[in-house]
Amino acid sequence: MSGFQQARIDLGAQLRQLREAAQLSGKDLAARLGWQASKVSRIENARQSATEDDVVVWCQAAQAPSEVVDGLIAQAVSLLERQDSWRQRHKSGLAALQEDIRDLESRTKLFRVFEPGVVIGLLQTAEYARNIFTKVRRLYGASDDIDAAIRVRMRRQDILYDPARRFRFLLPEAVLRYRLAPDDVMRGQLDRLLAVTTLPNVEFGVIPFSAQLPSALLNGFWIYNEAMVGVPTRTKDLVLRDPEDVAFYASAFEDLCEVAVFREGAREVIVRVLVDFAQQSAQ
């Protein structure tokens, strides 16, 4: 078992003890916090990481002593900032990892996302996601819960239709052409992207092959509000909170936006790729 997962188990067990000491059922606690009851279960059973905010409201509901609260907050912050092995994190379950991401997204109002190698998860179709999760399972030895992971990923996408949130997505044209799924799945995924470009709170950009790049497209990154950047690598998931790091990635994002095309320009690139797929399939 990884150190990351053991730390999550320890935190969940301590939170359960607080709930039980306060004579609250999982449903009672969830009702007080305005959560789904399943979230309490996921945290206590180490299928989801409790955030600092989760710990604060949990402890308030359980009337925990301040010294206990401080210690649990420190554990939650440490857990979030861990740079743990992707292989070990995936072994705890694809669906569990998707739940962690969904919880983080629920607290985000402004998303700025650049992905150089894969269609952004919030924009994936179910069948494209299935092909991606199958490759992840093979690469990292993840648990065999692909259907559950897809269901969570699809639920994550509900957030796109919240007008109080703003999304800025950026992909290079190459991502639209990478054969990470069969051609019919890729065509369905491209149709999905065309639909996304019409959402009023979504800014979707494509960096065309013809663009002169401001820098090499080394890795993807997700900027959550103005406070945190997630930088996934092949072996670790980096979580950056230093204001200078956040500002650096925000500046890099704007540089990439300068050479991208949006709205009708983005749709023209997507349609061009769709036509190429159709011609290649016919041949």
Asked if the 108-282 domain carries CATH number 3.30.870, the reply is yes
What's the pTM?
Answer: 0.75
Q: Which CATH architecture has domain 3-81?
A: Orthogonal Bundle (1.10)
How far apart (Å, rounded) are the C-alpha atoms in residues 252 and 156?
26
Cβ 237 vs Cβ 230: under 8 Å: yes
How far apart (Å, rounded) are the C-alpha atoms in residues 144 and 134?
9
The pLDDT of residue 280: 81
How far apart (Å, rounded) are the C-alpha atoms in residues 183 and 1?
39
Main-chain dihedrals φ then ψ at residue 191, nearest 5 degrees: -60, -40
The pLDDT of residue 76: 84
Domain map of the chain by residue range? 3-81, 108-282
Main-chain dihedrals φ then ψ at residue 111, nearest 5 degrees: -110, 130
The pLDDT of residue 46: 83
Same topology for domains 3-81 and 108-282, yes or no? no
The pLDDT of residue 83: 46
The pLDDT of residue 124: 96
Tens-digit pLDDT string for the chain (283 aa): 456 678 888 999 999 999 999 999 989 999 998 888 788 998 888 878 888 888 999 999 999 888 888 899 888 877 766 545 444 555 556 666 677 777 778 889 999 999 999 999 999 999 999 999 888 877 656 556 788 888 888 989 999 999 999 999 999 999 999 999 999 999 999 999 999 999 999 999 999 999 999 999 989 999 999 988 989 887 777 888 889 999 999 999 999 999 999 999 999 999 999 999 888 877 7
Instruction: List, in order, residues 6 or more apart from 191 with CB less than 8 Å away.
Output: 274
